[in-house]
Amino acid sequence: MAPRRKSSVEGPREVSIMDLPELALECILEKLPPAGLCSMAAVCSSLREICTSDYLWEKHMRQKWGRLIGPAAQRAWKLHLASAMDPSSVMVTNKKKNKKKSKKWIGMLSCFLPACWLKTKIEKPNKPSSPDNSIMSLYRALELGEFRFPAQVYNREHGHMGFMLSCYDAEVSYDCRTDTFRARYPPNGRRTVIIEEGVEWDRLRPPPMDTPAYDLHISDCLNDLQPGDHIEIQWRRNKEFPYGWWYGVIDHLESCDANRHFCRCHLSDTVVMQFNQYTPGSRWRRAIVNRKDHREEGSDTGGFYGGIRKLKSKDEVSKWRQLWPSGVLN
């Protein structure tokens, strides 16, 4: 019997995702959520290079963090990177402490990254990855709460002054387990740092200016203010406290009340601010500043008013009105 001839036709070859055209591969990766990109990045070095590119992470950063990560947070991120790259700042001599940190890090990471990514990290515990200047690195640091960034926190509370609407500077970090933030406020008059847990997304905004919390904001809008303008003004209880921001509107002078159709308030050196969240008769309902030489004004009993910024965005005004007490007229 003649020997059986081997077939010259081989079986079907397995197709890898890397066999796809570059454009098709990018279209697929663009559809993946952050966790999916991290999973794909753990497959091989080629996919890692693609899946960690800024091009694929820009959309995710913009969608989730774009509203909060402004110029101040970007500057803080650069400082964070510089600190992380300093070997003396990351050296840990106590092995138990290092192990405890590793377990905590892995637990937090599981909220965001898939198991295959965690496995890669666990297998190489002695080679922790340093943060880099990629968008993915920033996204990861934000998600894990490793990066505290500057923000301002809206507050609404009922106290002896009435409804207090304010906005204060803080350093915030994200908690992926509760989808809220931890805010660390500057020391107050007692030099104690205040920590607030569970701060929700809608209470945060990026700092609209670079003025530190203890510094007077230099007003550049005083000559333009006229009745009906929406403003924010710095206020602090005493000179040992950091400034917060109050929302108000520019009102007419008393001499203008009877003839507002002939209003000339914008020509006066006196500017009247009204804070309608406080009841009529409250000492905090109205304040008067001088348009020409306004600096910090006030007293230890009524607090100190600082710099003024005019609100030009409807979104900013709308945000304050979302916090407005029900039943109070704007």
Question: Rounded to whole angstroms, how far apart are CA atoms 272 and 251?
Answer: 5
Read off the pLDDT band of 118 (50, 70, 90): very low
Label each residue of the chain as H, E or C. Answer: CCCCCCCCCCCCCCCCHHHCCHHHHHHHHHCCCHHHHHHHHCCCHHHHHHHCCHHHHHHHHHHHHCCCCCHHHHHHHHHHHHHHCCHHHHCCCCHHHHHHHHHHHHHHHCCCCCHHHHHHHHHCCCCCCCCCCCHHHHHHHHHCCCCCEEEEEEEEEEECCEEEEEEEEEEEEEECCCCEEEEEECCCCCCCCEEEEEECHHHEECCCCCCCCCCCCCCCCHHHCCCCCEEEEEEECCCCCCCEEEEEEEECCHHHHHHHHHCCHHHCCEEEEECCCCCCCCCCCEEEEECCCCCCEEECCCEEEEEEEECCCHHHHHHHHHCCCCCCCC
Report phi then psi at 250, rounded to 5: -80, 130
Q: What is the mean pLDDT of the chain?
A: 80
Dump pLDDT digits (tens) for 187-223: 876 667 889 999 999 999 999 999 999 999 999 999 9
Q: Identify which has the larger pLDDT, 159 or 244.
A: 244
Bridge partner list, 78: none
- The stretch 181-185 carries a mean pLDDT of 96
On whether the pTM is more than 0.85, the answer is no
Residue 327: predicted pLDDT: 59
Q: Identify which has the larger pLDDT, 117 or 257.
A: 257
pLDDT higher than threshold 80 for residue 100: no
Residue 92: predicted pLDDT: 43
Residue 255: predicted pLDDT: 81
Dump pLDDT digits (tens) for 126-155: 433 445 889 999 999 999 999 999 999 999
Residue 10: predicted pLDDT: 58
Residue 106: predicted pLDDT: 45
- The stretch 296-310 carries a mean pLDDT of 90
